[in-house]
Amino acid sequence: MNNGETLPKILDVIIVGAGFSGLYMLYRLRERNFSVKILEAGNGIGGTWYWNRYLGARCDIESMQYSYSFSEELQQGWKWSEIFSSQPEILCYLNYVADKFDLRKDVQFGTRVNAAFFDETHSCWEVHTNGGDRFFAKFCIMATGCLSAARIPQIKGFDTFKGQHYHTGRWPHTNISFNGRRVAVIGTGSSGIQSIPVIAEQADHVFVFQRTPNFSIPSHNGPLKAEYEQWWKFKLRRVSTADL
């Protein structure tokens, strides 16, 4: 900011990212009467679960544990369908949370942060976006997680490849069919392990390229039994009460 330039409204907090952590911070800060705004690059709530829509995407932590614990009403009101929930269900959960606590009104979608500077003169953060907007806040919280930047492998000849190619971290928001295809999968991390079996059900041939040996075990996923869910909710209710 130039000296002599009129200082616009300064928020208490700017949060970058509307995933699990960003939404939680927004809820907690609003609860304490801070003025807060989330800047989100995507066009919807969800963070990782908004972007990662590859075939087979799901959580590898049990659904009952992969949930917010700040609201007893939320814990008791939401019902998971599987032990390890799929991406669509997790995204539905986050949208449910956003609607239940009216979080969207403080989220600006389609807004990517390009730069952030700390203004020593005015003791605030100056945040620049891809749309040319500038926001000012006393605090800036990066809730971008560790999966927001897709790593594109530098493979010789990749730029001249004539076939279709996709990255699990930037999967299209439309259905993709691999029926009758020959598919090469590079990498056997979490997204590779999850997507390969599903792709193999469709494709004629699947080739997996693995640099570092890895291992995986059956998840034993299945429908979430009512008695197990109730046991968890009872346990969570006791923990919440103890915290009070």
Domains of the chain: 11-148 (3.50.50.60)
Q: Where are the beta strands (DSSP E) in 1-132?
A: 11-16, 36-39, 107-108, 113-119, 124-129
Two structure tokens written together for 79: 């019902």
In contact, 40 and 111? CB cutoff 8 Å: yes
Residue 147's pLDDT is what? 80
- pTM to 2 decimal places: 0.90
Q: What are phi and psi of 106, to 5 degrees?
A: -110, 20
Per-residue pLDDT of the chain (244 residues; tens, 9 = 90+): 555 566 678 999 999 999 999 999 999 999 999 999 999 999 999 999 999 999 999 999 999 999 998 998 998 899 999 999 999 999 999 999 999 999 999 999 999 999 999 999 999 999 999 999 999 999 999 999 888 788 888 899 988 999 999 999 889 999 999 999 999 999 999 999 999 999 999 999 999 999 988 888 888 999 999 998 888 888 766 655 545 4
Residue 244's pLDDT is what? 42
In contact, 108 and 98? CB cutoff 8 Å: no
